[in-house]
Structure 1
Amino acid sequence: MPPVQLGCMAHGVSVQSPDIIIKRAQSAEAYGFTRVGAADSQSIAREVYVAMTLMAVNTRNVLIGPFVSNPLTRHPAVSASGMASIDEASGGRAYFGISTGDSAVYNLGFKGASLATLEEYVRCMRDLYHKGEGTWQGRPCRLTWAKRPVPIHIVAEGPKTLRLAGRIADGIAVGTGILPEVVQDSLRHIQAGAEESGRRLEDIDIWWFVKANLCNRREDGLLESRMTLAASANHAFRFTLENKMIPEEIKPRILKLQQQYVFQEHESLGATKRNAELVDELGLRDYLADRFTIIGPPEYFVEKVQGLVDMGVKKVHFGIYSHDPLGFIKGMGERVLPYIKEPTPGETKTRRTL
């Protein structure tokens, strides 16, 4: 087992054909990635279940799941059946990623779901898998044929969601950032939730979501990927800025960015996109890049990923924000992953190994 397991997005806004989905998933598998994800955002990306089916029948080992779904655009029985189908097609390699909803729901004129709705959705799916029946919004629903429960992973970007995920999820993708103090704070919330259900951190499959661009010059990568910095500020800090480890002097600028964010451009590459321009206009580039991303040449990636490993992080899922996703996957497999080492006991900075 390598010191760190990697995941990446194999399907997203930039994917223009089925062949690209297959190539990305196969490349990730060939270069040692553990799992791949597919965007679930009908207004700006191809259909997620088609993408996951293509991945399932064209790979052998990588885990496959939506990154991420939401509780509003599909009934939980529809999601449970769809994911059981992907699990069957892949030979037991499916996971289900879900959160409250971002571009998929806002591009339909909705708002993100409440945490109570998210919890009800997760519990309904779990009951469908374990009991064959569940309750959603006061009405019964059934699933009669699923062979095994598909693991349910919650993507969490705030303290309340982290705590909820620690309490009910099989796995978590932590999207709060990778600054050391943020990592520690996130673990504290997850652990609190885990303890509420009689679990330990070690009982939960914890991944850290990091936005990434592997490039020759960090400045070029930042220019190309600025729009995803805006996306992070928009959704990771949504609803409230309190208790999210944000410096006080930055909070007014975050609020301005959220007010002007363009959902039609969500995660769209390009230095001239409005969301990209907002980051620099508001002076947020450095803070958001340091908190949410790893962008730079291979040696910079080695340093940053090694730093995460030394903090006890064992699993990192990358969002690829580059015009050359296949080059990113190859570069990670050849020029980064082989150089990551196990931390010595004195180097591990977190209280637990994840």
Structure 2
Amino acid sequence: MRVGVRIPPCAPVTEVVAAAAEAERLGFDEVWFPDSQLLWRDVFTVAATAAAATSRVTLGIAVSTVATRHPSVVASAARTVGEVARDRFVLGLGVGNSSVWPVGLPASTGAELRAGLGTVRALLAGEEVDFGGVRSRLRDPVPVPLHIAASGPRNLRLAGEIADGVILLSGISPGTLGSATARVREGADAAGRRDEPVTTVSAYCRVTDDVARDARELKPVCAAIAQHGGVPFLALAGVHVEVPPMSLPGVYPDVLHAEDWDAAVRACDPYISDAAAVAFAHEFCLFGSGEEITRRLETVREAGADAVFLQHVGSYDLPFPLLENVAGKVLPLL
């Protein structure tokens, strides 16, 4: 199983690229960059620059959207990164979330995601596409694997049906992970696919000897899941929370990408108990000693995951502590 890390493009491009190069040096297999045009630097520029500064690590975007960019623009940008990365680039697509909410746009529907991915794929394959009666193609196309990020059953089935890979946002709890992979298989079976999509599991991670102390930082993550209909999903793993309002005092731009994380934690206290945060850390996340995280990664692998990418809490700092701790205390055990 490949192990990757999420690096938000939250600093000047040279610093973000230095973090990606450090991840490669430390032995990580993959580096994933999130995309949100108001929060971070342009993700395709960062990915192309990182491709030029690395030689082995796979570079992925987790994830872009066809809601803020026309599919032809997405295809052109992906082609450009693909030229530099030379078979080391993966494009993840999703419904939008932090890309669409701050600019007043709705998230993509499943039909829009299906159509957008189809257009991007056709253009990257050099095919002509009908744009409302105008037929056009992309010059100098480069094939790029297309993954879908999904948590709900419909998009999980969609990923199984049409995507080269799926990025699971279900955490690592055996119950929720098993349910998510089953929905992906349903989509693949319905499409008559012989091969299932590459499965990548996203998980928050912290190497720590005191989970009870550090789990508090996960409260905004729990709150964001609850705000978007995930209370039953959390309860399936024994994590019981109340649904916070969509807007919390002192939290900008949203609870999952709060600029003041400590303030977001405090704002979530009335809705997410300390016990719920600890349960979430144990069930959904990779919080614990190097040995504990390694054991849990083995269960993720046994559940059928091809890769996992680890992320730290927060959106505006580079994950150097996570890189160093995982490289020193987890990767050698794997």
Please report the TM-score for the alignment, with normalisation by the length of structure 1. 0.83
Structure-1 residue corresponding to 2:69: 74
Structure-2 residue corresponding to 1:346: none
The offset of 1:172, in angstroms, is 0.6
**What are the superposed Cα offsets for residues 180-235 of structure 1, whole Å, 9 maximum, x if unpaired?**
111211111011100122114x5311111112223343234323443333334445
The offset of 1:320, in angstroms, is 2.2
CA contact (8 A) 2:7 2:318 kept: no
Q: Is the aligned partner of 1:101 residue 2:96? A: yes
The 1:263/1:49 distance shift into structure 2, 3 A limit, reads same
2:45 to 33, 50, 53: 50
Structure-2 residue corresponding to 1:186: 180
Q: Is the aligned partner of 1:280 residue 2:269? A: yes
2:257 to 267, 280, 291: 267
The offset of 1:286, in angstroms, is 3.4
Structure-1 residue corresponding to 2:301: 309
Structure-1 residue corresponding to 2:216: 223
The 1:203/1:246 distance shift into structure 2, 3 A limit, reads same
The correspondence of residues 286-301 of structure 1 with structure 2, limited to 5 A, is 286-301=278-293
**Distance (Å, rounded) in 2 between the aligned partners of 1:199 and 1:245:** 31
**Distance (Å, rounded) in 2 between the aligned partners of 1:34 and 1:303:** 19
Q: Is the aligned partner of 1:165 residue 2:144? A: no
**What are the superposed Cα offsets for residues 18-46 of structure 1, whole Å, 9 maximum, x if unpaired?**
23212211111112222111121011111
**What are the superposed Cα offsets for residues 113-155 of structure 1, whole Å, 9 maximum, x if unpaired?**
1000000000111111224322457764431211x32100000
**Distance (Å, rounded) in 2 between the aligned partners of 1:99 and 1:186:** 16
**Distance (Å, rounded) in 1 between the aligned partners of 2:247 and 2:206:** 26
Q: Is the aligned partner of 1:134 residue 2:138? A: no
Q: Is the aligned partner of 1:213 residue 2:210? A: no
**Distance (Å, rounded) in 2 between the aligned partners of 1:198 and 1:327:** 44
**Distance (Å, rounded) in 1 between the aligned partners of 2:57 and 2:234:** 34
Percent identity of paired positions between Structure 1 and Structure 2: 25
Q: Is the aligned partner of 1:153 residue 2:153? A: no
**Distance (Å, rounded) in 2 between the aligned partners of 1:191 and 1:124:** 24
1:334 to 325, 328, 334: 328
**Distance (Å, rounded) in 1 between the aligned partners of 2:288 and 2:31:** 22
Higher mean displacement: 128-137 or 163-172: 128-137
Please report the TM-score for the alignment, with normalisation by the length of structure 2. 0.87
**Distance (Å, rounded) in 2 between the aligned partners of 1:137 and 1:233:** 39
**Distance (Å, rounded) in 1 between the aligned partners of 2:155 and 2:252:** 22
The 1:225/1:247 distance shift into structure 2, 3 A limit, reads closer
Structure-2 residue corresponding to 1:9: 6
The 1:337/1:234 distance shift into structure 2, 3 A limit, reads farther
Higher mean displacement: 58-67 or 262-271: 262-271
CA contact (8 A) 1:228 1:267 kept: no
**What are the superposed Cα offsets for residues 12-69 of structure 1, whole Å, 9 maximum, x if unpaired?**
4xx2222321221111111222211112101111111221122111000111122111
**Distance (Å, rounded) in 2 between the aligned partners of 1:68 and 1:269:** 20
**Distance (Å, rounded) in 2 between the aligned partners of 1:248 and 1:38:** 28
Higher mean displacement: 95-104 or 210-219: 210-219
CA contact (8 A) 1:279 1:285 kept: no
**What are the superposed Cα offsets for residues 223-252 of structure 1, whole Å, 9 maximum, x if unpaired?**
3443333334445x37xx67x464599787
CA contact (8 A) 2:92 2:148 kept: yes
- Give the secondary-structure state (helix, strand or coil) at the position aligned to 1:212: strand
The 1:136/1:247 distance shift into structure 2, 3 A limit, reads farther
Count how many residue pairs are aligned between Structure 1 and Structure 2.
327
CA contact (8 A) 1:76 1:124 kept: yes
Q: Is the aligned partner of 1:85 residue 2:80? A: yes
